[in-house]
Structure 1
Amino acid sequence: MYSTTFNTALGEFALIWTDQGIRRVFLPGNEAIALEHRLAQLGAQRSEPPRVISAVLDRIEDYAEGEVVDFADVPLDLDGVPAFHRRCYDILLTISRGATTTYGDMARQLGDVGLSRAVGQAMGANPIPLIIPCHRVLAARGGAGGFSAPGGTATKRVMLALEGVSLGTPPGQMQFAF
C-alpha cells in the first residue's frame, strides 16, 4: 500500500492506494501529525503517485474548488470490505452529483427497509468517502443524518453545497435577518 497527502481548497486530503486502485480516502480535518500516524498504522508507504492516482488527485482538487467532476471510472480496491457494505457502495456509485438518497431508500433497494441502520453503519465504515459518495445519503425527510468524517455533518453540508444541494439551517440553529 502506498500513500500521499495533498492540499486542496477544502484542506489536506490523504489517499492510500494499491496496484488494484484507491483503498482509502481521508477527508480534510485531521491534524497533520495524526494523519501521518494513521497512514503509518495502516502500513502505507509514502510514495509518488502513478499517473492514474495523480489523475484522481487532480479531480479531488477540482472538486474542492467547486468544479463538476466524475469519479465513476476511478479504480477501487475494496479488498476486505464486507459484502453488504459493497452492495451499499454499489448503490451509492449510481447517485450522481446534485442528487441524494436516504438510508431508508437504500435499505428498500437492498430488499428490506429494516436494513436502514445497517446502511448507516456501512456509510460510517466507508473507506473511500467522496469517491464513494456517502455524503449524498440523508436521513428521512431530508435531514443531514450522520457523517463520520472530521467535522461531522458540517463537512457533509459543505460537500453537498459544492454539489448544489442545500439542506437548510442545521438543527438547533436559527437564522436571524437583522
Structure 2
Amino acid sequence: MAGRAYSIFDTGIGRCGIAWGDRGIIGVQLPEAREIDTRRRLFQLYPEARETRAPVDVGIAIESIAELLRGGSADLSDVTLDMTGIPAFNQRVYAFARSIPRGETRTYGEVASHLRASGAVYSVAQAIGRNPFMIIVPCHRVLEAGHYADKISPNGGAISKRRLLSIEGAHPTASKTLFDVLLPVAPPRPHS
C-alpha cells in the first residue's frame, strides 16, 4: 500500500517506533532490547513502510506518547487510528480501552461485560494481545482477573504491563509467582 511510513523516536523507556498511512496511525512499537530489534519488528509488521520524518499530526502523537512514558498526562484521545482490517469486535475493545483513565485498570471480564459480551472474556484477551496501537490504545490497563500485569502484546517489545502501569502511577498489581503457575499439588500423606 502506498503512503505508509514509520519513524523511530526517543522516550523515557527507550526508542519506540510509530507507523502511519493515509488514514491515520497503523501501529506503535514499544522498544525491544536493542533499537535494531525495534526496527526489525516494524519492518516485519509493515514491510512496505519507509522511514521518514513524521507529519505534524503524527508528530503530535509522538510527543504525547513520549510525555505519557515520562509519567505525564498527555491526551491521546484525538489521535486518528487506521482500523482497516481490524475486526469489529477488536475495534470495540480498543475504543473501550481508550476510555480507561490513566492510572486505572479493568479486567478482561469487565471489558467483556461493558461490551455486553460477558461470555467473550477470551475474545477480549485475544483483542488486547493483538493491539497494534500500543499506548494510544492502552492495553496495559486491561488485566487478567487476578490483576496480573506481566503479559503484553508482541508490539510491547521488552516492556511489561507492570512497568507501564508503574509509570502511570497505577495502583499496585499482583504478579504471578511460580506457585501460581504450577498446578496445585496434593499435600504429602502422613506416614502411619
Q: Secondary structure at the match of 1:144?
A: coil
Match of 1:15 among 14, 18, 21: 18
For residues 168 and 137 of structure 1, the distance between their equivalents in structure 2, rounded to whole angstroms, comes to 11
Question: 1:151–1:167: structure 2 CA closer, same or farther, 3 Å change rule?
Answer: farther
Counterparts of 1:80-95 in structure 2 under 5 Å? Answer: 80-95=85-100
Counterparts of 1:62-73 in structure 2 under 5 Å? Answer: 62-73=67-78
Q: Secondary structure at the match of 1:13?
A: strand
Match of 1:58 in 2: 63
For residues 118 and 139 of structure 2, the distance between their equivalents in structure 1, rounded to whole angstroms, comes to 18
Instruction: Answer whether contact 2:32 2:38 (CA < 8 A) is retained.
Output: no
Tell me which stretches of 4 or more aligned residues in structure 1 moved more than 4 Å: none
- Give the superposition deviation at 1:168: 4.5
- Give the superposition deviation at 1:157: 0.8
Instruction: Answer whether contact 1:26 1:129 (CA < 8 A) is retained.
Output: yes
- Give the superposition deviation at 1:114: 1.7
What do you get for the CA RMSD once the two structures are aligned?
1.8
> Where do 5+ consecutive residues of structure 2 fail to align?
179-192
Match of 1:129 in 2: 134
Aligned pairs, number: 171
Instruction: Answer whether contact 1:101 1:136 (CA < 8 A) is retained.
Output: yes
Instruction: Answer whether contact 2:148 2:174 (CA < 8 A) is retained.
Output: no
Q: Which amino acid aligns with 2:171?
A: S
Q: How does the TM-score come out when normalised to structure 1?
A: 0.88
Match of 2:167 in 1: 162
- Give the superposition deviation at 1:171: 2.5
Q: Which amino acid aligns with 1:170?
A: S
- Give the superposition deviation at 1:131: 0.4
* % identity of equivalent residues: 35
Instruction: Answer whether contact 1:157 1:166 (CA < 8 A) is retained.
Output: no
- Return the index of the structure with the highest Cα Rg: 2
CA deviations on 1:19-77 (whole Å, 9 max, x unpaired) are: 22111000112532233233334211111111111111111121121111110011111
- Give the superposition deviation at 1:133: 0.7
